[in-house]
Amino acid sequence: MKKQEFGYLVLLFLTAFVWGATFILVKWTVSEMDVYYYLFLRFFVAFVSLLIFYPKQFFRVDKKTIRSAFILGVLLFSAYAAQTEGLRFTPATHSALISGLYLIFIPFFSFLLLRQHVPLPAFFGALISFVGLYFLTQYSYTGINVGDGLTLLSAFIYTWHILFTGKVAKEHSIRALVLWQFFFITLLSGSIAAAKGEFIFTFSSLALLTIFITGIFATSFAFIIQTAAQRIIEPTRIGIIFALEGAIGAYFAWAFGGETLSFISFMGACFMVFGVMISELSMFFFILCRRGKKILCMKPL
């Protein structure tokens, strides 16, 4: 393994680590701050920090790029709004684990909408993950609270965001798309927060810490690292690393947030992480499908 590749793998793991660690921080923060005001501050910080490095990609842009970025921005805003609202009503452990399900939704949407080959193990992984979700909610669909439902909705929306990004990314500058997305999310969340009269100018040390970590490390730097890593590391390996986010989030919620799981819920959490791992590993089979080896593949309808 080359030193550069190893370095990016370490940075990707640190990205997943930061993403996982922030679930409990965000939950604490939105208990004392409006959700949309928090999102406004987070993406404003992310937008400004990227704008400093890439001003030309923001100002020198065509209308088609702005239109695509607006659609992506609305999708990403909706995903973050649903996830962050969900954190108000569900434990950070649930939010971290359910959020990671977007990794198993992507193959299914690709199969249904794009008629792409989907490896059969991806379906097994999805089944295992949803069995885990059933256990996580104590054997009852009524155990899925409002927060769980909002988080699941955010995973669906984020899947659409990823698929649409894959469609338009080849036509536009990635940096321009991300900068304008962050700009539109800042406008949307800021407008809602202003309409609700939630703008405040005194912050607790916790809120400042959360805004700094999520704005800089979990949003701005995460984008830079992921974009650079994708040039030399296979998407499968990146997906496997990102699948650790849910487990890391659950650990931080337990270690620092005092959240606990029953034995059944813990088994459900393990099933969910295991299922996501299987789904991501199955992308190796997807590569075989693309090469014409149809072993363990489902053909498009």
* Maximum average pLDDT range among 8-12, 15-19, 168-172: 15-19
Per the model's pLDDT, the better-predicted residue between 285 and 271 turns out to be 271
pLDDT in tens, 45-61: 999 999 999 999 999 99
Q: pLDDT digit string (tens) for 198-214?
A: 888 889 999 999 999 99
Query: If pLDDT is split at 50, 70 and 90, which confidence band does 300 have?
Result: very low
User: What secondary structure letter does DSSP report for 299?
Assistant: P
Confidence bin at 28 (pLDDT 50/70/90) = very high
pTM beyond 0.95: the answer is: no
Domain ranges of the chain: 3-298
Distances in Å between the alpha carbon of 83 and those of 3, 23, 90, 128, 155? 36, 10, 10, 22, 8
Q: What is the pLDDT of residue 29?
A: 96
What is the C-alpha to C-alpha distance for residues 64 and 70, in angstroms, rounded to an integer?
10
Closest CA to 267 of 97, 86, 24, 21: 97
Please give the average per-residue pLDDT across 5-25, as a whole number: 90
